[in-house]
Amino acid sequence: MIHLATSRRRPVTHPKGARGRRTRQQLLDAAEAAFGRRGYFETSITDITRRVGVAQGTFYVYFPSKRAIFTELVRERSRDLRRTIQEAVRGAADRREVERLGFQAFFRFIHRHRSMYRIVRQAEFVDPALFRWYYRRFAQGYVRGLKEAMGDGQIRSLRPEVLAYCLMGIGDFLGMRWVLWEKSGPRPAVIETMMDFILRGIDAAAGGRRSR
């Protein structure tokens, strides 16, 4: 498992009770909106608390610093995304269906959290270890699934980590083009082209065969 660099700051706290959990989530949602709109360095803690309608003192009950809430936001959205995809592909018949359902779930998720594109990219400058963790943690699960599919003979035997990052790159850039820029989502024709490429590549000999 990839571990983030340790910090001497007071750790993030998790107040108990429904009200505490609700306030914490509201702060994270507000941070997502603020960081996505203004960027990490231009956002202040006041910008976050103002969106929730709480005092700065309340912020420090949950997070010791702006850096702490940024880190927690990236980690929590990473967990949310991975959980969303896992639920979407549960019960899928084979790896082709897993890829299709997984990509569709990914596009739906980032449509709801478009700010995370900007936030994750900012992490490269705010906390490089967090930036690497985000992609490596996602890749870990992807690699496991690809290895299983290779072992079952569902897909060709390739280097699973290389393949995982190739597929992640496809999702990242198609999402940027059709979700972030157009604020909608990939049309069916885009999904079909993507799946045909994933399953057949750019080999001209495979051009006449289409994925189902």
- Note the pLDDT tens digit of each residue in 171-182: 999 999 999 998
User: What pLDDT, on the 0 to 100 scale, is given for residue 204?
Assistant: 74
Question: Considering the entire predicted model, what is its pTM?
Answer: 0.86
**Residues contacting residue 5 through CB under 8 Å, at least 6 positions apart:** 127, 129
Burial of 49 (0-12, 13-18, 19+ CB in 10 A): buried
Structure-token pair, residue 153: 């003979």
Report residue 136: phi and psi, to 5°.
-65, -40
Of 9-13, 68-72, 143-147, least confident by mean pLDDT is 9-13
**DSSP per-residue letters across 64-86:** SSHHHHHHHHHHHHHHHHHHHHH
User: What pLDDT, on the 0 to 100 scale, is given for residue 136?
Assistant: 97
Closest C-alpha among 67, 74, 69, 180 to residue 131? 74
- Note the pLDDT tens digit of each residue in 189-207: 999 999 999 999 877 766 5
User: What pLDDT, on the 0 to 100 scale, is given for residue 162?
Assistant: 98
All structural domains of the chain, each given as residue ranges with its CATH number in brackets, are 18-203 (1.10.357.10)
Query: What average pLDDT does the segment 76-84 reach?
Result: 97
Rg (CA), the chain: 19
Structure-token pair, residue 144: 């496991």
Residue 208 has pLDDT above 60, yes or no: no
pLDDT band at 19 (very low <50, low <70, confident <90, very high): confident
Tell me which of 5 and 133 has the higher pLDDT. 133
Query: What average pLDDT does the segment 68-87 reach?
Result: 97
Q: Are 32 and 119 in contact (CB under 8 A)?
A: yes
* Buried b / exposed e along 81-91 (16+ C-beta atoms within 10 A): bbebbeebbee
Residue 163 CA to residue 161 CA, distance in Å, equals 5
pLDDT band at 6 (very low <50, low <70, confident <90, very high): very low
Closest C-alpha among 77, 70, 63, 78 to residue 11? 63
